[in-house]
Each structure stands twice: as C-alpha cells, then as structure tokens.
Structure 1
C-alpha cells in the first residue's frame, strides 16, 4: 500500500511523499522506505494509515505533513457529523455533500507545501540544507520550510493563493509610508506579519547568522517579466525564482551542517 501521509524513513532519513510505497512498523509506529524495509524484520508491513511519530531531529521532515494531518482530522470529523445527522442515509449524505471550505483549505495548503518542498529538495547536497514543517517552540504555529545556505538562513512560508501578488505603497511625504501586500483584490499584509514572527523565532535560536524571510506563492498569477519584490525585508516570489535565489547563496561563512543541526534540534518536526 501507499503512504496516506508524507513521512520520513526511520532508518535512512529519506523523505517519503504522500502516496509513496513504504513499510509501516507497528511496534515503533514509524515508516521505512522500500529499500530499508526489505531488510527489516517481519514486523514491518507495507501499510501506513497514520503519520510516523518520533522522527529524529536530524531528519529533514516531511513538507506539508502537519497540514495534511489536520485536513484528514477535519474530513473525518465532518463525515462523522453527517453520518450522525442522517443516520441510515449517512453514507449517501457524505457522498453527495461538498467538502467544507474550512476543511478543503487545509488540503490546498498541504499540497502547496508538498509541491514547494519537492522543488526545494532538488537543492539538497549543493551547499543548501533543508528542513520542512517545523514546530515553533511554545506555539501551535509552524514553519513550512527552512533553508540553510553559506550566506544565511531562509525562513519560507508557502501559500497556494490565486490572483497576482502586488506591493501597494500608501503615504509618503506628508503621511507615514505604509506597504501593503495585495493578492488579487485581497489585502494579505498579515501574511508578511506571520513570516516576520517566524524570522524572529529563528533569530532568537541562532545568533550571529543572517535570517531572511520568504513568502512563496505556488499558484499565483505572476507576470511573464519581473513580478518578485520585497516588503519589510520579506521576499515575495514563486517556486522557480526561489530555487534560483537559494542556489546563488553559495558565498558566506555559515557552517551549514552545524546550523542545520542546531535548528533541527530547536524546531522539531510538526
């Protein structure tokens, strides 16, 4: 069977995306990739119905794992509510009902994180270390992706929004300058605030290392020429542009393996 959730191989630490074939160890509640699973004990069976627990801090983590778990939790709860309401017709009600918007939003977010995580993983081994879906200590919030390069740390928030991201500037000579992030017709400035909070959390954990924030819109309506911009120190761009930007961060004195381990130990998988 295939993984219902993204996970990480207990033995080799390889990232396993959702729907990938893998083995599940019932005793330890962890997963193994096919190569490691073939040499494991008989307790490993090719079936996974829940995300792995106890992922080592050194593992990269699975992009979108916590968002997908929350989506599945909400979906099951919605179905249970319908079955309870309609009794014997509950199965039919589930089949005919549209998914609640608040539930579907978690699935959309998980897909966005998974797609961006896959692109970012292409940089691994080229002087870039990656961590996905990390929990902020003392908070229910998480960081979608963290990239460590010789030039510094990049805190990345993935968003799967429709519309064109734009920077609107109000005020100026006689009024305070105010920068707004607008996606389509929606004021999304609060997304920048969220990234800045994540950046502050990482800066507190790792001293004397530059930390940059990124908002990466996975399916936005970007123009053919230009389009990316920065607001309040946060880069706003798309996946291909982000990968190219990170690949260019090859000059600096950051000890990438050491900083990665320090961040992984502080920000555990969500």
Structure 2
C-alpha cells in the first residue's frame, strides 16, 4: 500500500468516525464502542485478512447495535398507541446504559435489554437457570436487573425488566427468571402490551421524568 493511499484511508476513517460519533438512538452507544475498537490499525489488519481480538470484539458490539435497532423498529408501532419509547439512555452514574425504555400510556415502565444470539440453539429456563442450548447464560441478565433497579430508583416507581431475545426460539413460553420476563423479539410489541395491561400504571408524568432524568447515552452518563 502506497503512502498516499495510506493517508487517504486514514483521513476518510477519521472523518467518518467524527461524523458517526454524533449519532444517537437505538444501538448508538454499542456502535460507538465498535468504532472505538476498530481503530485504523485494526482496519488495516482486516484489510490484509488479519483477525484481531479488538476486531472480533467490535464485531460483537456491531451485532448488538443491529439487534437494538431491530428491536426499536419492532417496538415503533407502540407509539401509535400512546407509548413512549426511549432508546440507548444513560443511567445517573457509572457507564451502564439502558437499551430501551418503554412506558405505556398509563405509566407502566419497562426496561428492555436486547440479546441478539445465535438462532442455532433455543433459549429455555431450566432449574432456575437461563440456557442458550446447553450453555448457562444466566449471568447475562445481571446487567438488566441492575439497570431496572437503578431506573426504579431514579423514577421512584416499580420497573419491569424484560430481556428481548433476537434470534433463538424460546422453549417453554412464557419464560421468567428472577423477575425478568424473557420474550421473543418478533413479538415484542404485543408482549409489552400484555405485560403493561397486568400492572398498575403511574401516569403520564413518568414518561416526561424518564426523558429528562435519563438522557441519551451518546451525550455521556448523567452526573
């Protein structure tokens, strides 16, 4: 590769990184993390067919970002029914974010975390554990439980944690583990309506508070 081509590629990469860093919305923080990992050196390595650990991690973040965008599109029809949907929101402290916050017209609050996993194996709950095929993935709900607990503290109302599974089939529905509802991504909007109908709401003010107290993560965690 000539010096001219190298510097041209570097200039294009820096420009695209600067433009894309301003994006917000579903999957924005995961996509931003992928861009941070896929440095110029990593991109050049990939150009020559060299796989790196940072590149593999960037792939996972990009897949996660696409999963969040897919969930956002599936939830979008809820807006026509008066729901408030907030995507990729920062928690008041730390570096964690909320993938999706869905608030029903009556003020039922649900925190959603998209899990985009391989469709090769089904997801099930057995003996108090979450399994993806034969693999125990229970620990992958820890972050969601923390996020729901934090949002509940911020808003001062109960919050329902929901894991949205994108890819695998769910075996033995309805699935629930330690208070976390586990739903298929393709039916996410319908399942949220059912969940919200079974819980007490806290009024429209909750949506306004959530939008104000949990800003877009792309702007950085609130302090």
Normalising by structure 2, we get a TM-score of: 0.78
Aligned match of 1:214: 162
Aligned match of 1:193: 142
Higher relative contact order (CA closer than 8 Å, sequence separation 6+): 2
Aligned match of 1:62: 25
Q: Measure, in 2, the Cα distance between the counterparts of 1:81 and 1:67.
A: 18
The secondary structure found in structure 2 opposite 1:265 is helix
Residue 260 (structure 1) shift: 1.3
Residues 151 and 250 of structure 1 are in contact (CA less than 8 Å); yes or no, is this contact kept in structure 2? no
User: For 1:117, which of 53, 72, 79 is the aligned residue?
Assistant: 72
| Count of aligned positions | 193
Residue deviations 1:171-223 (CA, integer Å, cap 9, x gap): xxxxxxxx11111222111122221111110110112x331000111111335
Residue 255 (structure 1) shift: 1.7
Distance 1:81 1:101, change over 3 A: closer
Aligned match of 1:168: 126
Distance 1:82 1:267, change over 3 A: closer
Aligned match of 1:51: 21
Aligned match of 1:155: 111
- Report matched runs for 1:1-270 at 5 Å: 49-52=19-22, 62-75=25-38, 77=39, 79-81=40-42, 83=44, 94-98=47-51, 100-149=55-104, 150=106, 152-162=108-118, 163-169=121-127, 179-207=128-156, 209-222=157-170, 227-248=173-194, 249=196, 252-256=200-204, 258-270=205-217
Residues 183 and 191 of structure 2 are in contact (CA less than 8 Å); yes or no, is this contact kept in structure 1? no
Runs of 4+ with >4 A deviation:
250-253
Could you say which structure has the larger radius of gyration? 1
Distance 1:217 1:81, change over 3 A: closer
Residues 34 and 61 of structure 2 are in contact (CA less than 8 Å); yes or no, is this contact kept in structure 1? yes
Q: Which one has a larger percent helix, Structure 1 or Structure 2? A: 2
Aligned match of 2:14: none
User: Which sections of structure 2, spanning at least 5 residues, go unmatched?
Assistant: 1-17, 218-223
Q: Measure, in 2, the Cα distance between the counterparts of 1:81 and 1:206.
A: 41
Residues 153 and 211 of structure 1 are in contact (CA less than 8 Å); yes or no, is this contact kept in structure 2? yes
The alignment's C-alpha RMSD in Å is 2.2
Normalising by structure 1, we get a TM-score of: 0.65
